[in-house]
Structure 1
Amino acid sequence: MAAEVILKLTICFLALMVRVQGGDPYLFFTWNVTYGTISPLGVPQQGILINGQFPGPEINATSNNNIVVNVFNNLDEPFLLTWSGVQHRKNSWQDGVLGTNCPIAPGTNFTYKFQVKDQIGSYIYHPSTALHKAAGGFGGLRVHSRLLIPVPYPDPADEYTVLIGDWYAKSHKILRGFLDSGRPLGRPDGVLINGKAGKVGVKQEPLFTMEPGKTYKYRVCNVGLKASLNFRIQGHKLKLVEMEGSHTVQNLYESLDVHIGQCFSILVAADQDPKDYYMVASTRFLKEVQTTTAIIRYKNGKGEASTELPPAPIGWAWSLNQFRTFRWNLTASAARPNPQGSYRYGAINITRTIRLVNSVSRVNGKLRYGFNGVSHTDPNTPLKLAEYFNLADKVFKYNVIKDEPEKTTTLTIQPNVLNMTFRNFVEIIFENHEKSLQSYHIDGYSFFAVAVEPGTWSPEKRENYNLLDAVSRHTVQVFPKSWAAILLTFDNAGMWNIRSEIWERTYLGEQLYASVLSPEKSLRDEYNIPENTPLCGIVAGLPKPSPYTI
């Protein structure tokens, strides 16, 4: 009898060990967000630091890792971080935007808890409140493939994160004052690579080092406010292998246009003469081109980098043609974003078409942007909280815009929320009637960018869609007087932000939210509100609703 008891206890212990060891690992971070003096363009200004760093620390994770980030706000203003491209399956509570979260009040902290579920690739995080992104607070987030799932290229000798973006020498509070007073930001003052602006012919310490004969992976992300950037490396080809969480067909490029919010992973072979080379980032589609550089040094190399930089492409037609070369790698055995319908998305019936036309106007003499005649404003009560507490009717109205835009030259300012049917396969058309390039992003999802074309969209244009191997991604550019079509299944319950990545446009209303409600109200579809979620607005102090169950 004693032996039987010991055997049962041993089996229970082993089962417990398997459960503990078999769980997905946790990564814990404590981040202190403070102001600090930085001088990326040679002019001292107030920056936003994370643990004293600008840019902020990088998160290095593996698919299915659980990420726990305890953020202490030591600024003098409310603050939030959003995790751009991280899908937060069933968990918009962690999205870190004002439509889902109360901001972290000065002197307090909030702990983000989310899982990078079935994702691989290069991502970024950045502030979503006010114009804090113009002061820093951004950084890279790597998600590696698990060892059981091979990637479609040999392991690189090393990996480097390259954060490129335009920059303004004025403080974020002055810039916000410009927008609040009705004036635009104007052109940026420069371009940064990993927080620094390098000039040709001026001595720079090497940013990265390569060993001759080896291949390196560069994760390149545009963290800027306004400008698309062209990225290139002097004397080297760029082999594109991944973008925004999807493996791509591995084409070689002289340079890549990286639009705001986008991330590319490229392989670079150290196959040139061993010396220094310039990494170059320059603005695109602005009247005045601004360029910055950084040094890549070959190990034991001799010789300075040539002062003759590789030229940037001219015109947006070049960029459009480059977009058409991007293809999803359908043979790669790796985690795929939005797995439902991933292999045969072109065979799924479209249940709803939504055309979103960007708008610009003046309301009471002040500049505003929006979609379909509505300029979004964030209420004091986050939309997600109002909905969860069954108080949505006291905070906002659903579907204030139509799926087919009405002809209007004016904008109204109000919360903009579209009600989405859970698990419907939806076509969204971003239509740009302006002369400037746009970049749009959807939180919580990857979508299939099936077409980007000049002109005005019509149903006949579906004949030109790529219904086989369009890249699954979370950000898409729309060229001047052009449109972009994306397809996605709204199968991730929550309240999700759809926004311009050009941050002055976002701040001034060019965004909306997709409310995706599960009729089951089950934990299989959406997590309960976390215990540590702060409550504000009309839900402050209210008891939380009954939790969802299985």
Structure 2
Amino acid sequence: MAQVVTRSVGALLLLCCLWAVSLVQAEDPYFYFTWNVTYGTISPLGVPQQVIMINDQFPGPNINSTSNNNIVVNVFNNLDEPFLFHWNGIQQRKNSWQEGMPGTNCPILPGTNFTYHFQVKDQIGSYFYYPSLGMHRAAGAFGGLRVNSRLLIPVPYLDPEDDYTVLIGDWYTKSHTALRKVLDSGRSIGKPNGVLMNGKNKADNDSPLFTMKPDKTYKYRICNVGLKTSLNFRIQGHTLKLIELEGSHTVQNVYESLDVHVGQCYSVLVTANQEPKDYVMVASTRFTKYTLTATGLIRYTNSKGPASPELPKAPLGWAWSLNQFRTFRWNLTASAARPNPQGSYHYGKINITRTIKLVNTVSTVDGKLRYAINGISHVDPTTPPKLAEYYSVADKVFEYNLVKDEPAAVDEQKVTLAPSIINATFRNYIEIILENHERGIQTWHLNGYSFFAVAVEAGKWSPEKRKNYNLLDAVSRNTIQVYPYSWAAIMLTFDNAGLWSLRSTMAERNYLGQQLYISILSPARSLRDEYNLPDNSLLCGIVKDMPKPPPYSA
């Protein structure tokens, strides 16, 4: 009898091994989307205006995916001008060809289509997409992009009853073309006209944005998709338990409200444990001389009455916001896809090989407003720099390293308009200092990576400030805010070959030059490090009619 049992166990082990091998060999799932991008007319602030819609939706449809899924989006551009989508926060491992930025992709021309194909590889979290050319984001075409954890990987909280996306952002009643003309004429676009929450400005008693069952817990993914203004988010009568921040599980602190800066996303848990009635979500401007507010309604399924007219107030001052930033901590015990630089989660023990200090400036060039980084105000060339590198004609398109690792002294600074691309060594561990000498808040985003946000402090940075870095559990994320007359420090390994944008998340600053690209080339030109140019890639500029270079080797 014992012999029979042994054979059964052996056969079972063999079957398990074969099943595991088949899982490894099986390709990750594909999800296909067809998007028609068109103009439409709506009145989000009570004034009819032209917006950009996706499949007649404003905001655009949510993408709901799971870690390692392949996302295929066929985009038909039915506008009267070129168009691109950017997938904000998706790391695009080895694949900057799908970034949808003017530094990596030729635009989708009117009346044509292009298919994006990217994999949300080893990622989880809350993100969004938006149009990256001109001032298109001011007209819409943005939407939520969520990446769920695979079922085999536990998350550090119970499954919520439902999962909601909340897109908040400032809004202008002028069209994107009118705003672009204002910037091209050398002026600022000024203050926004209002704030929207999922495309609406005011709570609608007849149409709540979300419903909640009594005593159930819900996940809310909150993203600031606006153009220039930090917002504070809060829910009447409820607290927010932070669980995830731009792809990282966090220590689960509880907040009355959260400051959400431009381009940032948070996931929180909200429990329906209050009196059964309606409640109001509030998003209002921060760090401005004016106050603009958007509201949205949450309704308990057993609601017995309307929401209170008294709305919760926003906090005051940027010191409150800085202190809140300091409470954000990475959950080091959570099981999830997360960055693993040089084989260690102990990022604070990795030797820094290069420090890059970047200072944002505002100036005028030929009487027109421009924004710059270390004196260089970026201009997109007609040939995307990534294509120029791939076709070995970079020297005909741009000059590397106009932005220096250390900015010039303030009295020596002058602003130069040029494509801004810096070189970085593959797999080097880098420290980047973002220093803000202005009285307004700045927010920065890096494509292709998550970085460790190790410090934000008032004043100017110096090497002695490193003693104040959080070298244990700083959150790994892709955006960072820099408060007025303050600095921020981030650390990361440049292990993702490609061309990646580091830029202001504020649309007018980005449009007028406050961005640069970081080129990380694989010395081996190997498919292990970077994918080849996709066969369906659009070509433009000087590479349009050139023969395709030999592909990378395996």
Q: Decide: shared fold, TM above 0.5.
A: yes
Displacement of 1:409: 3.9
Give matches, 1:41-440, under 5 Å: 41-198=45-202, 203-338=205-340, 340-341=342-343, 343-407=345-409, 408-440=412-444
Count of equivalent residues: 536
Cα pair 1:423 1:489 within 8 Å, conserved: yes
- Choose from 508, 517, 523 the match for 2:521: 517
Cα pair 2:233 2:283 within 8 Å, conserved: yes
Whole-angstrom CA distance in 1 between matches of 2:520 and 2:344: 20
Displacement of 1:38: 1.4
Displacement of 1:426: 0.2
Q: 1:339 to 1:302 in 2, by over 3 A?
A: farther
Cα pair 2:83 2:109 within 8 Å, conserved: yes
Cα deviation, 1:417-445, whole Å, max 9, x if unaligned, reads: 11000000000000000000000000000
For residue 528 of structure 1, what is the amino acid of its counterpart? N
Whole-angstrom CA distance in 2 between matches of 1:338 and 1:485: 19
Whole-angstrom CA distance in 1 between matches of 2:406 and 2:307: 54
Whole-angstrom CA distance in 2 between matches of 1:288 and 1:159: 33
Cα deviation, 1:188-214, whole Å, max 9, x if unaligned, reads: 000000000006xx7452100000010
Q: 1:319 to 1:342 in 2, by over 3 A?
A: farther
Whole-angstrom CA distance in 2 between matches of 1:482 and 1:204: 45
Give matches, 1:24-39, under 5 Å: 24-39=28-43
For residue 293 of structure 1, what is the amino acid of its counterpart? T
Cα pair 1:228 1:259 within 8 Å, conserved: yes
Cα pair 1:338 1:445 within 8 Å, conserved: no
Cα pair 2:42 2:49 within 8 Å, conserved: yes
Cα pair 1:204 1:294 within 8 Å, conserved: no
Quote the residue 2:479 is aligned against.
Answer: 475
Cα deviation, 1:317-344, whole Å, max 9, x if unaligned, reads: 0000000000000000111135545511
Where in structure 1 do 4 or more consecutive aligned residues deviate above 6 Å? none
Q: 1:80 to 1:338 in 2, by over 3 A?
A: farther
Cα pair 1:198 1:204 within 8 Å, conserved: no
Cα pair 1:422 1:490 within 8 Å, conserved: yes
Whole-angstrom CA distance in 2 between matches of 1:18 and 1:395: 47
SS at match of 2:480: strand
SS at match of 2:180: helix
Structure 2's unaligned 5+ residue stretches are 1-14
For residue 243 of structure 1, what is the amino acid of its counterpart? L
Percent identity reads 72
Structure 1's unaligned 5+ residue stretches are 1-10
Whole-angstrom CA distance in 2 between matches of 1:79 and 1:491: 29
Cα pair 1:39 1:45 within 8 Å, conserved: yes
Cα pair 2:64 2:146 within 8 Å, conserved: yes
Whole-angstrom CA distance in 2 between matches of 1:212 and 1:431: 47
Q: 1:232 to 1:388 in 2, by over 3 A?
A: same
Cα deviation, 1:493-524, whole Å, max 9, x if unaligned, reads: 00000000001000000000000001010000
For residue 450 of structure 1, what is the amino acid of its counterpart? V
Cα deviation, 1:99-157, whole Å, max 9, x if unaligned, reads: 00001000011100000001001000000000000000000001000011010000000
Whole-angstrom CA distance in 2 between matches of 1:341 and 1:135: 43
Cα pair 1:429 1:486 within 8 Å, conserved: yes
Cα pair 2:341 2:492 within 8 Å, conserved: no
Displacement of 1:300: 1.7
Whole-angstrom CA distance in 1 between matches of 2:51 and 2:480: 29
Whole-angstrom CA distance in 2 between matches of 1:353 and 1:379: 27
Cα pair 1:341 1:348 within 8 Å, conserved: no
Quote the residue 2:547 is aligned against.
Answer: 543
For residue 391 of structure 2, what is the amino acid of its counterpart? F
Q: 1:316 to 1:204 in 2, by over 3 A?
A: farther
Give TM-score, length-normalised by structure 2: 0.95
For residue 526 of structure 1, what is the amino acid of its counterpart? E
Whole-angstrom CA distance in 2 between matches of 1:38 and 1:507: 25
SS at match of 2:128: strand
Cα deviation, 1:34-72, whole Å, max 9, x if unaligned, reads: 000011101010100000000000100000000000001
Give the alignment's Cα RMSD to 1 decimal. Answer: 1.5
Quote the residue 1:441 is aligned against.
Answer: 445
Cα pair 1:178 1:184 within 8 Å, conserved: yes
Give matches, 1:13-24, under 5 Å: 18=22, 22-24=26-28
Give TM-score, length-normalised by structure 1: 0.96
Cα pair 1:122 1:265 within 8 Å, conserved: yes
Whole-angstrom CA distance in 2 between matches of 1:339 and 1:23: 26
Whole-angstrom CA distance in 1 between matches of 2:528 and 2:228: 39
SS at match of 1:177: helix
Whole-angstrom CA distance in 1 between matches of 2:427 and 2:23: 32
Whole-angstrom CA distance in 2 between matches of 1:32 and 1:313: 41
Whole-angstrom CA distance in 2 between matches of 1:277 and 1:483: 38
Quote the residue 1:457 is aligned against.
Answer: 461
Matched, 1:496 2:500: yes
Whole-angstrom CA distance in 2 between matches of 1:237 and 1:21: 44
SS at match of 1:49: strand
Cα deviation, 1:455-491, whole Å, max 9, x if unaligned, reads: 0000000000000000000000000000000000000
Cα pair 1:361 1:409 within 8 Å, conserved: no
SS at match of 2:517: strand
SS at match of 1:176: helix
Whole-angstrom CA distance in 1 between matches of 2:343 and 2:244: 20
Whole-angstrom CA distance in 1 between matches of 2:239 and 2:501: 36
Whole-angstrom CA distance in 1 between matches of 2:103 and 2:496: 16
Cα deviation, 1:283-326, whole Å, max 9, x if unaligned, reads: 00111011111100000211110011111000000000000000
For residue 188 of structure 1, what is the amino acid of its counterpart? P
Cα pair 2:400 2:422 within 8 Å, conserved: yes
SS at match of 1:281: strand
